[in-house]
Amino acid sequence: MDAIEVVKKEMLDRKVWAVIGATPDPEKFGYKIYKKLKDHGYTVYGVNPKYESIDGDQLYPSLKELPEKPECINMVVNPKLSKAALEEIGALGIEYVWFQPGTFDEDVIDTAEEKGMKIVFYDCVLVALGGDH
């Protein structure tokens, strides 16, 4: 098992996740990923200041407003928003960040690594949990 696989397994063993970019739109990855994690028994918090809820679950405007600190963050936003979120993630001391395809660039990855975060990128959590995307 290579280093990325080890980190991926560590992340999937964590049970409290936040999805940054969660959305009530069933066509979007922010919805599909949120649902897939919930369906697999994870405690999942959606973070998106544009919406109030997803399937009756409250969405939160930022990580610091969540009722508990997530162990793992799943990014479903553009690289500019991902980079901004890394500041808050770092300040909260959250170690694991999973970047969905299209949510990062070299600058985002460099920033996450500089902050000592354990990261996964180029992999889709939907595929890791078994399912279409």
At 119, list the tokens: 């990261």
- pLDDT for residue 5: 87
- pLDDT for residue 131: 59
3-class secondary structure, 24: coil
Is the model's pLDDT at 94 over the cut of 60? yes
Over residues 122-127, mean pLDDT: 86
Residues 43/16, Cβ–Cβ less than 8 Å: yes
Strand order in the sheet with 118-120: 53-54, 57-60, 43-47, 16-20, 72-75, 96-99, 118-120
| Average pLDDT across the chain, whole number | 94
- pLDDT for residue 133: 46
Structural domains in the chain, CATH included, are: 3-124 (3.40.50.720)
At 80, list the tokens: 């500019």
Over residues 11-39, mean pLDDT: 97
Alpha-carbon torsion angle 38, 43, 52, 98, nearest 10: -80
Give percent of the chain with pLDDT exceeding 90.
87
Q: First-to-last CA distance in the chain?
A: 24
- pLDDT for residue 130: 82
CA atoms of 111 and 86, how far apart (whole Å): 8
Most confident option among 4-8, 55-59, 122-126, 129-133:
55-59
- pLDDT for residue 3: 82
Q: How confident is the model at residue 127 (pLDDT cuts 50, 70, 90)?
A: confident
Q: How confident is the model at residue 37 (pLDDT cuts 50, 70, 90)?
A: very high
